Amino acid sequence: MPPDLKCKIAGVEFANPIMTASGCAGYGEELAQIYPLSNLGALVTKSISLKVRPGHPPPRTVETPGGMLNAIGLANVGIDRFLSEKVPFLKKQKTKVIVNVAGSTIDEYVEVCSRLNDCSCADMIELNISCPNVNEGGIEFGTSPQLTEKTVAASRKVFKRPIIAKLAPNVTSITEIADAAEQGGADALSIINSVIGTAVDINSWQPLLSNVNGGLTGPAIKPIALAMVASVYRKCKLPIIGIGGITDYKDVIEFLLYGATAVQVGTALFVDPSIPLKIVKGLKKYLKEKKLKSVTELIGKVRR
């Protein structure tokens, strides 16, 4: 019998533990032209805000050793156009859909979440309380335990299906934020969002990003992400979705061993949009070799 890749988070079953990370797959349309989205455990959408956001002016990205800095600025179509233009497409895809939600006030989170509650296409939502590159919100919510709890609790009241809180690494204690998210009623945690960073042009002496600061992603942040997943797994009962620099099936196994139930692949999609398919293939082979029946047998099994 082939090994079972299915996994379950807060009662929602996924065909495999490989999801796309928010902001790395748009609303799925581009990837769907390359392969059927049914190959994914879930598609996580770009952050949706109440109003359209054009995003930051260019330059928005910088290549760095082992990854990139980005300051896209939460460019997105806004909830109205998301529901009218993107949901009809997403409804036709045979994959789970997780809608990532961003806001600059708690009221904005609530408004977007309540609109999504009426949209059956959103199997889950993921609260982005950790975007490092917009001034008026995002990370402010995710660096304060009080605001994390408040934001999650307010969203919880209006969204009746499972809620994931996406946590920032740019905090003193991620376990404190994880506890706050749990207190607020989150059903799962995704760990981590990007790490704050910047870069300067040594000839013009100007920052290489129009926004100055950006979020560092890619293989460079994998060890940071793994350590944060491990520390939250030890202290918090909520299921974890591991994110940070995942490029192949071996990275996925590391995250699972440290306690993640599923993972999201982000920056690696930019190098190879088909990477989820290759990861799934690699995972199957690994499980077979290790004589494991299910991918869930790896969760939290690190030996220490």
Partner 1 sequence: MTKPTCEDALVVKKRDLNNDYFSLVLAPFSGAKSIKPGQFVHIRLPSTDIYFRRAFSVASVNPAKKEVEIIFKVFGRGTKILGKMRKGDSLDLLGPLGVPFSFPLKNENAVIVAGGVGFPPLMFLAEKMIEKGHNPKLIEFFYGGRSRLELVELSRLRKMGIKLHLSTDDGSAGNKGHVTGPVEQYLKKNLKEKMKLFGCGPERMLKAVDELGLKYNVKGQLALEALMPCGVGICLGCVVHLKAGGYARVCCDGPVFEIGVVNIAS
Whether the Cβ atoms of residue 219 and residue 195 lie closer than 8 Å to each other: no
Instruction: Using alpha carbons only, give the angle 73, 248, 215 rounded to the nearest 5 degrees.
Output: 20
The CB-of-157 to partner 1 minimum distance in angstroms stands at 32
Q: CB-wise, 273 or 300, nearer to partner 1?
A: 273
Q: CB-wise, 7 or 24, nearer to partner 1?
A: 24
131 is catalytic: yes
The CB-of-84 to partner 1 minimum distance in angstroms stands at 18
The CB-of-98 to partner 1 minimum distance in angstroms stands at 16
Q: CB-wise, 70 or 155, nearer to partner 1?
A: 70
The CB-of-45 to partner 1 minimum distance in angstroms stands at 11
What are the E-state strand segments in the chain?
7-9, 12-14, 18-20, 42-44, 61-64, 67-70, 96-101, 124-128, 163-167, 188-191, 195-197, 214-217, 240-243, 260-265
Whether the Cβ atoms of residue 21 and residue 221 lie closer than 8 Å to each other: no
The CB-of-128 to partner 1 minimum distance in angstroms stands at 15
Instruction: Using alpha carbons only, give the angle 176, 97, 236 rounded to the nearest 5 degrees.
Output: 20
Q: Fill in the amino acid letter for 293.
A: K
Q: How far is CA 139 from CA 30, 62, 95, 108, 256, in A?
A: 28, 21, 29, 15, 26
**Cα dihedral 109, 112, 115, 121 sign:** negative
Whether the Cβ atoms of residue 295 and residue 18 lie closer than 8 Å to each other: no
The CB-of-93 to partner 1 minimum distance in angstroms stands at 15
Count of alpha carbons within 13 angstroms of residue 273, beta-carbon side: 13
Largest alpha-carbon pair distance within the chain?
60
**Closest C-alpha among 189, 211, 68, 63 to residue 136:** 211
Q: Which of 7, 24, 131, 236 is catalytic?
A: 131
Q: CB-wise, 24 or 260, nearer to partner 1?
A: 24
Whether the Cβ atoms of residue 169 and residue 231 lie closer than 8 Å to each other: no
Q: CB-wise, 66 or 78, nearer to partner 1?
A: 66
Q: CB-wise, 13 or 272, nearer to partner 1?
A: 272
Residues that bind partner 1 (CB under 8 A): 23-26, 30-31, 33-34, 54-55, 57-61, 63-68, 70, 72, 75, 218-219, 267, 269-274
Token output for 140:
């402010």
Active site (catalytic) residues: 131
